[in-house]
Structure formats: structure tokens, C-alpha cells
Structure 1
Amino acid sequence: MMTALVSSLLEVPAEPGDLKLARVAAIKKFIRKNYRNRALAVDEVVAYSFLSRRALYYLFEEEEFQVSGYIRALRTLEALELLSNANPWKRSLTDIANASGFTSLPAMRRAVRESTGIALRDVQENPEVLRIRAAELRKLIGL
């Protein structure tokens, strides 16, 4: 009965042994819905999950990314996809950073460099690298 209750509250199907996985899935779903919000940080995820910060980090210890890393990876992926957009009306880098949820352009530059190993200006000049790095990041995130 407890499993059914928790499963319905988390909006994720769960078996008795899978409550941890269901909890992680629900938190990731929340993050995916809200990562474009510049105010989203670990504290907002803590409030959503009704866990302490320590319990939240413990919950994510076996995941590819911790909570803040997952948020940053989603934002970086969004930025890479916006940068690779073939639209002739290119958006400014600041607009892309804001649309991706980054607090500033330098934060986006750092995230892109750490994720791709390439500076943002070099990434922009090579759309093939953008697609390859975005696909690699998408796979790491599990999308």
C-alpha cells in the first residue's frame, strides 16, 4: 500500500524495491520541467523533494550527475541546440544564455567549454562539433 501511495504522489510507477529510482525519476522530471528558470538551483529541488540537501545528494550518489550537475547539463544541452539552430535570424549569445537558464553569458561559456572541451567561439564556427557534443551530452543525461 505504501508503494502505491508513494508511486501516485511521485507520478511515477514504482515497485516496492524501486522507490529510490522512482524518487530520482520524479526529481529529474521536475528539473527537466524547470531548468530554463534561472532561479532553479539545488535549494528549489530540496524544497520540491521534501528532502534535506544531504539526503538529496545521497539519493543522486549513483547517478551520472549530482543535482546541480544535472541542471547544468540540461542547460548546456539547450544552449548547444540553440547554437546549432540553422535559422538565419541568429540569436545573441546573451539571449541564448538566458533562454537556456544560465544566470550569465560567462556561466554559459564555462559550461560549454567544460562540456565540449572547446571554447564557445570555436563551437559556433563548427556546427558538426555542436551536433556531436550535443548527442554525447544527451546520452549522458539519459534523454
Structure 2
Amino acid sequence: MNPSPHRTIHRHRGVTPRRAHPAQTTTTERGNARTRTAKFGDLQVTYLEHGPVRLDTPDRMWGADSSTLRLMVVVEGEVTLRHHEANATLAARDSALILGTSPVAYESLAPARIVLCDLPADNTGLTALPRSAPFVVGRADAAVPCALGAFLLDLLRQDSDQLAPVARAQIADVLRTLAVSTITALAVAGCAGWDLRRQRLAALRHIAARYTDPELSSASVAEHLGLSRRSLQRLFEDEDRTVAQRIQEVRTQHAIARLRDVRLASASLAEIATLSGFGSTVAMRRAVQEATGLTPSDLRREAVTTDPGEHELTPAECERFQIPEE
């Protein structure tokens, strides 16, 4: 059996308790990873250089420590963060703030270099920080995180364990101010977009669960989410379909699947319409014919003459009706 290209690396998570004496800078090599870590007051700065790696097991993930916020800046290469509600791929000069309490998987398919800054979540400057997202991302055009990453890397390149206590304390004060302002700006901007995506996904899930209800509408979805109809509409302003169109498409998708299912060949069109959330066979016929170019009866005849295992939506139809994951 060939060995996996992915190797285990050190897990740097959390901030160790404040010490009476400054911690020394340490350099560690293990497997295909090399790290360098230094403490500046209650901040821990880490440079991490590694080959292909995957951290996706419960005991090797980032973000599950609610007492720590982690700022990451990619120096070189490409890395991916994964969570059950979000995925993001970061290239050089991109940054991410891991601020939620849910574990975040980390993966890189090729060598990469990153800089990490761990800061206690109870820092007085971060008391009002949003915590609605497991992580938020800043792209390369966000100059402040990139500048902070360069500053951190420069600190680690120096022989910082030889710094005098006074100099180390001064650096810690400056670094704390820079880190807090950077983290706050990145989190507030990122969480605003995250909250919108989360509400939009909640609306899509409600539609998927309740499409058979003939009373399902934009108004009922808004009421379920505790939003006004205008607020609900704003969630979908950057998309090409309204909430009403989403409802119609989900119903149409299920109607087409049922009409092509030979096991339902004995069900009447009225029953198929009811099962799919349409108020009448006329409404179903109109929606199905607009989506496929065929009438419901044509779809049924087509299904009888083909292999039952092939009665699925075409790729074009799947793309048209798909509810995207966010």
C-alpha cells in the first residue's frame, strides 16, 4: 500500500496561560512540517511551513477552542478551510479569522507557508465581536491583514528570544493593538455577509421542507424566518430568482421526478400535482411544460418506454433546479 501524501503536522491551537517570564522562540521540525513559535504577552505567533496535509479528524481541527481567536495569513501556496456550512480556498496574501466554536478542517494539496496569530477571545477589545460564523475570509486586496501577516513573519525571523524584557513588552503592546483592530475589522465585515448567507440558506431549507404545502409563499417564508417580506427579498437581491420562483422551481423539480417514476404510473395527474405542492393540474402542466417542453402526459409516456433506472432529471434540469449549498 502506498503511503498517503497527507502527513500529520503539529496542532497549534489555543493560547497557553500567561507566564511570569517571556516564552522563548522555538523551532520544531516533524515529518514534512517546520514551525517557529514565539509568545508576545498573551499573543502566540506561529510560522508554519508544510507539505500536503489534511487536518480533518475531531482531535486535529481548528476553531473548536472558544477561548481563542485565530488569525491566519497565507504567505505562499494554497490552503482550504472546510466546515459543514462553508468552504473557502485561500491563496497567497489571503487571510482568515477562525472565530466560531465549531471545528474547522484545514487542508493543503501542495506545500504551503502560513502565519498564525492566536489571541484570547476574552481580550477587552474583542468583547463585542460577532461569533455567528466558524470563520470569515479576507482576500489579498484587504491590505491590513496582509500587512499584519508580514509584520508577524518579520518578528519571527528575528532572534526574538534574545529581546530584552522591556523591548518584548513594547512589541507585545503594539502587536496586541494591531491584532485587535485587524481581527475586529475582518470579523465585522465577514460576519455581516455570513449572516445574510445563513438566513438565505434557512429560507431555502424551509422551502425544500414545505414545498408540498399549497399555502407556502414568500409571505409564509418571511414569517417563518421572522423577517419582513422586504427583508426576505433583500436576501435574494444578488440572485437571478425571487423567493416565489424558488418555490415554483422546487415544486416543478419534484413534479417532473414523480411523472417520470413508473412506480407512480397509476397515480392521477391531480394526485401528482397535490404531492408536488401545486394547487391544480393546470398550474403543474404549465410549469412542467415551461421547464421541459413536454406535457405531463408526454413525460409519463416517455418514462414507460425507457429504463426505469434512467428516470432522472437531465443535467440541464438539475442545474436549473438545484438549491446551491452555501
TM range (shorter): 0.7 to 0.9
Tell me which amino acid in the other structure corresponds to 1:75.
R
Q: 1:140 and 1:88 mapped to 2: Cα distance?
A: 24
Deviation at 1:126, TM superposition (A): 1.9
Aligned twin of 1:63: 239
Aligned twin of 2:320: 140
Q: Are 1:39 and 2:224 counterparts?
A: no
Q: Are 1:24 and 2:200 counterparts?
A: yes
Give the secondary-structure state (helix, strand or coil) at the position aligned to 1:101: coil
Whether the aligned pair in 1 keeps the contact of 2:285 and 2:295 (CA below 8 Å) is yes
Q: 2:244 and 2:264 mapped to 1: Cα distance?
A: 33
Tell me which amino acid in the other structure corresponds to 1:114.
E
Question: Match for 1:93 among 269, 282, 294?
Answer: 269
Q: Which digits, 9 at most, give the CA deviation of each residue in 1:30-66, with x for residues without a partner? A: 1111111111111101101222212211211222421
Whether the aligned pair in 1 keeps the contact of 2:261 and 2:311 (CA below 8 Å) is no
Q: Are 1:2 and 2:91 counterparts?
A: no
Query: Which has the higher Rg, Structure 1 or Structure 2?
Result: 2
Tell me which amino acid in the other structure corresponds to 2:301.
E
Bigger fraction of residues in strand: 2
Q: 1:14 and 1:102 mapped to 2: Cα distance?
A: 40
Give the secondary-structure state (helix, strand or coil) at the position aligned to 1:55: helix
Q: 2:232 and 2:268 mapped to 1: Cα distance?
A: 35
* Matches for 1:91-130 after TM superposition, within 5 Å: 91-127=267-303
Alpha carbons of structure 1 residues 124 and 88: separation in structure 2 relative to 1, 3 Å: closer
Deviation at 1:120, TM superposition (A): 2.5
Q: Which has the higher contact order (CA 8 A, sep 6+)?
A: 1
Unaligned runs of at least 5 residues, structure 1: 8-12
Tell me which amino acid in the other structure corresponds to 1:56.
L
Moved more, 113-122 or 63-72: 113-122
Alpha carbons of structure 1 residues 3 and 131: separation in structure 2 relative to 1, 3 Å: same
Tell me which amino acid in the other structure corresponds to 1:74.
V
Alpha carbons of structure 1 residues 30 and 126: separation in structure 2 relative to 1, 3 Å: same
Alpha carbons of structure 1 residues 122 and 102: separation in structure 2 relative to 1, 3 Å: same
Bigger fraction of residues in helix: 1
Q: 1:89 and 1:119 mapped to 2: Cα distance?
A: 15
Alpha carbons of structure 1 residues 88 and 23: separation in structure 2 relative to 1, 3 Å: closer
Q: Are 1:77 and 2:253 counterparts?
A: yes
TM-score, normalised relative to structure 1: 0.80
Q: 1:112 and 1:126 mapped to 2: Cα distance?
A: 14
Aligned twin of 1:10: none
TM-score, normalised relative to structure 2: 0.38
Unaligned runs of at least 5 residues, structure 2: 1-128, 137-190
**How many residues get paired?**
135
Q: Which digits, 9 at most, give the CA deviation of each residue in 1:60-106, with x for residues without a partner? A: 12224211111111111111111111227521100000000111111
Q: Which digits, 9 at most, give the CA deviation of each residue in 1:83-134, with x for residues without a partner? A: 111227521100000000111111101110111122223222223696344x
